[in-house]
Structure 1
Amino acid sequence: MTHVVLLSGPDQSPLPGLDGLERKARLTLATDETSLRQSLPEADILLVTDFRTDLLERAWPDQPKLKWVHAASAGVDRLCFPALRDSDIVLTNARGNFERGIAEYVLGAVLMFAKDTLTNLHLQRSRSWQHRDTETLVGKRVLVVGAGAIGAEVARVLGAMGMRVTGVARSPRVQPPFARVVGQDQLLEQLPQADYVVVTAPLTPRTRGLFDRHAFRAMAPHARFINVGRGPIVVTEDLLHSLQSGEIAGAALDVFDPEPLPPEHPLWTLPNVMISAHMAGDLVGWERRLGEQFMANFARFERGESLLNVVDKSSGFITNGR
């Protein structure tokens, strides 16, 4: 019988949506290094819902029997440590569960900036009546850094609002709904033209630290920065300086480096910043959908069929679709 190990945090509830798995496989729950070390050497499949990278890397067996690792997340950067990355083990992710939620989050952030909602809330708390003009979205220019499934859904939603959306990918290509997609080597050239810069890219060696002081200085002073990708894509102290100095006009941040954002960090108190707790894609029912997605791929595994959402472990990008 196929042996499935579920790596879950000690405080996490069991992943819903795995109905019937215990009848089809031997299922072992691992919540700490000891239980993971005991169960992993004989496992065929590893389902990861807890992304404590050092734990999995420390417990990794010398000669794993694993055939498949599934990440119940869109990002797989925390799983691509050398032993797994350089192996023949198939890695899949949860593409298809987060695109719409993240796109709606980005639209909400854009509307928040355009309609000056942060100021409205501040004035409401102080009971201060101040009439102001606000902006429209029509014709505004958006640069979406990351032209994968999430970035494309962001482009579709913002494009429907009359915004002009350019994508940034590893290389240029024609890809509706983007007006165009340019290569990452053109990032600094494109940044000054954008009213909004949205990061949806995965964390890879090429994107780590991509947004540093040079990138923020290239942005227009009126531009707003939205990060729904990964925290380490941004050099946090450079972003903080740009916001405090007025180099950029504001930021909406769902991911951070470090994460969680420490309570004493200055980003919490900046008036032009919205902070959320890595939740942009988590729509009601998302955990059950993750479980059901794994079960659908598990059925393919049992039938000997190709798995969906296979990730190129060297780049962090999907090699096949849903």
Structure 2
Amino acid sequence: MPPFTVTNDLRYTLAMPTPLSRRTLLASTLTLPLAAQTAAPRREPLRIVSLTPFDPDEVKQLQAASAVPLEIEVVKRAELRAKLPETEVLYGDVPGKELDFAPKLKWIQTGAAGVEWMDEEFRKSPVPVTNMARVFAPGIAETGMGLLLALTRRIGTDYARQTMRREWKTIGTVRSADHIELAGRTMAVIGLGGIGYEVARRAHFGFDMRVIATDARPMPRPHFVAELRDPSWFPEIVKQADVVVAAAPHTPQTNRMFNEPVFRSMKKTAYFIALSRGGLIDDMALVRALKEGWIAGAGLDVFPQEPIPSNHPIWDCQNVVITPHTSGWGEERQRRLVAFFAENIRRYTRALPLLNVVDKQAGY
């Protein structure tokens, strides 16, 4: 029996019928230079420098995964440059300008799914980066559906405000459109990666919704997605949807993609759910869309400015539900994160391809 159990954890993490996601499969052949992939398993001890502390039990799990003695050294960011000359593996991130101080750096495991921190200088470097894509997706997807229900059933808007006022007051009538059922309605998922996949799966199987989607990478269409196309379909897909979910990574191509023309093109009865990155949103266009009735409402776990300033007009909108970028939080998330890092340590110390290698030019 291996020193730690990872297979089932990873299958649950990816929440797919097969152990590996499409991005994992794509990445597994691109992880390390060919020489490293064909090298013999490591023999010398490994020290990983981490910008994030791990609990003692988590450290033991990481050490058990390694084929060689492993030390985790936690440092503050201000101390990182002094450690870089001898750092082989980093858990965290580092700007490109610091790479001159890190001649031995061979691998960065980031603790997040997004990699916006990569600047142009770093993108040009040969240092591979692996991310936490899909690790946080289950909680984020559940939050997304919760935000949607809070809007369609008015739980997080009118009834939440009434609860604070100790009021019992119905909205609309038994036959009016003030309360919306999701079954049979169309959800457009923009970005069918980890988050988008899990939202789409829940929407279809849990709520009988018709799901359509876009994604930048060629992939087989999941059987629960009615139609999947490349991002050029974006201007048209948003017009068809009753719910639009922002689940794409933040890149130069997706920056502020949800802007005034997009919100104006959506159905007036449609809902907007933002789950991946706030940089996808033109916040003032969203405020106008909510206040002027271009769309019915918005559920936001991410926003261009975080934390949102107390004087931002988004707080004045009556048809918005906001969570403070906590959709990926939870005990289960942390267990999956540590299990995933452990699996990559196991692979690294055995000269095997790593999982979730980032395409640095694409930005995800």
The alignment's TM-score, normalised by the length of structure 2, stands at 0.78
Which secondary structure state, in structure 2, belongs to the residue aligned with residue 96 of structure 1?
Answer: coil
Cα separation, 1, equivalents of 2:313 and 2:168: 25
Give the CA deviation at 1:201. Answer: 0.8
- Which residue identity is paired with 2:203? L
Q: Please, which moves more after superposition, 132-141 or 56-65?
A: 56-65
Distance 1:77 1:266, change over 3 A: same
Give the CA deviation at 1:221. Answer: 1.1
Aligned partner of 1:311 in structure 2 is 358
Aligned partner of 2:228 in structure 1 is 181
Cα separation, 2, equivalents of 1:121 and 1:162: 26
Which of 107, 114, 117 pairs up with 1:75? 114
Distance 1:26 1:125, change over 3 A: closer
What stretches of structure 2 of length at least 5 have no aligned partner?
Answer: 1-44
Which secondary structure state, in structure 2, belongs to the residue aligned with residue 107 of structure 1?
Answer: helix
Distance 1:63 1:17, change over 3 A: closer
What stretches of structure 1 of length at least 5 have no aligned partner?
Answer: 318-322
Aligned partner of 1:201 in structure 2 is 248
> In terms of Rg, which structure is larger?
2
Contact 2:276 2:302 in 1 (8 A): yes
Distance 1:241 1:131, change over 3 A: closer
Contact 2:84 2:102 in 1 (8 A): no
Greater share of residues in strand: 1
Cα separation, 2, equivalents of 1:15 and 1:71: 20
Contact 2:241 2:270 in 1 (8 A): yes
Q: Please, which moves more after superposition, 269-278 or 61-70?
A: 61-70
Q: Where do residues 1-322 of structure 1 align in structure 2 (5 Å cutoff)?
A: 1-8=45-52, 17-19=58-60, 21=62, 24-33=69-78, 35-48=79-92, 56-57=95-96, 59-78=98-117, 80-117=118-155, 118-126=157-165, 127-132=167-172, 133=174, 134-160=179-205, 161-170=207-216, 174-176=220-222, 177-317=224-364
Cα separation, 1, equivalents of 2:138 and 2:74: 31
Aligned partner of 1:320 in structure 2 is none
Give the CA deviation at 1:59. Answer: 4.0
Distance 1:171 1:185, change over 3 A: farther
Count of paired positions? 307
- Which residue identity is paired with 1:99? A
- Which residue identity is paired with 1:130? T
- Which residue identity is paired with 1:179? A
User: Which of the pair has the greater relative contact order for Cα pairs under 8 Å at 6+ separation?
Assistant: 2
Which secondary structure state, in structure 1, belongs to the residue aligned with residue 146 of structure 2?
Answer: helix
Distance 1:147 1:16, change over 3 A: farther
Distance 1:113 1:18, change over 3 A: same
The alignment's TM-score, normalised by the length of structure 1, stands at 0.88
Give the CA deviation at 1:152. Answer: 1.3
Q: Identity percentage over the alignment?
A: 33
Cα separation, 2, equivalents of 1:61 and 1:15: 32
Q: Please, which moves more after superposition, 259-268 or 189-198?
A: 259-268
Which secondary structure state, in structure 2, belongs to the residue aligned with residue 247 of structure 1?
Answer: coil
Q: Please, which moves more after superposition, 205-214 or 286-295?
A: 286-295
Give the CA deviation at 1:58. Answer: 5.6
Cα separation, 2, equivalents of 1:13 and 1:184: 38
Contact 1:18 1:292 in 2 (8 A): no
- Which residue identity is paired with 1:129? K
Contact 2:97 2:121 in 1 (8 A): no
What do residues 14-49 of structure 1 show as CA deviations (whole Å, max 9, x unaligned)? 69622265782343322132x11101121111101x
